[in-house]
Amino acid sequence: MELRHKYYLELLLTHTNIARCSFYYHQKQNKSTDKYKVIKELIITIYHKHKGRYEYRCITDQLNNNGIIIIHKTVLRLMKSLGLKNLIRVKKYKSYKGNFGKIAPNILERKFKADAPSKNEQQI
């Protein structure tokens, strides 16, 4: 039961040391609806559909392709409020270890004259 119906508002505000504008501000905030409610639900479905691998840029592109025009900053802010982060993918194993083994010496050192194909005479 609200005390406002039983007592005057002035009496309640002075007793609780709340300004009148603050009271009406909080009352308005409680009644206001979330304007991004539908978009938040879409972000959650896209995020879980792709197993958490989509970041805010990919989700923004997906929403724009579906006809919902929204910028990436808004998607990033909504994802932070929802507690969603993209997962870092495990890197694929690569067996390349760099220069391995012996490198042949450069005998020609770019000083050659070719009289015919496949015949190099080294100039000294």
* Whole-Å CA distances, 96 to 84, 90, 91, 92: 35, 17, 14, 12
Any idea of the CA torsion for 91, 58, 50, 78, to the nearest 10 degrees? 110
Report pLDDT digits (tens) over 53-87.
Answer: 999 999 999 999 999 999 999 999 999 999 999 88
How far is it, in rounded angstroms, from Cα 71 to Cα 96? 41
* Whole-Å CA distances, 4 to 1, 8, 11, 13, 93: 9, 6, 9, 10, 68
Q: Is the pLDDT of residue 124 over 60?
A: no
Report pLDDT digits (tens) over 88-105.
Answer: 877 889 888 887 788 888
How far is it, in rounded angstroms, from Cα 19 to Cα 30? 17
Where do the domains of the chain lie?
1-32, 37-82
Rounded to two decimals, the pTM is 0.53
- The reported pLDDT for the residue numbered 37 is 93
Tell me whether residue 75 is exposed, middle or buried, using C-beta atoms within 10 angstroms of its C-beta: 0 to 12, 13 to 18, 19 or more.
Answer: buried
* Whole-Å CA distances, 22 to 88, 93, 103: 44, 59, 78
Average per-residue pLDDT in the chain?
86
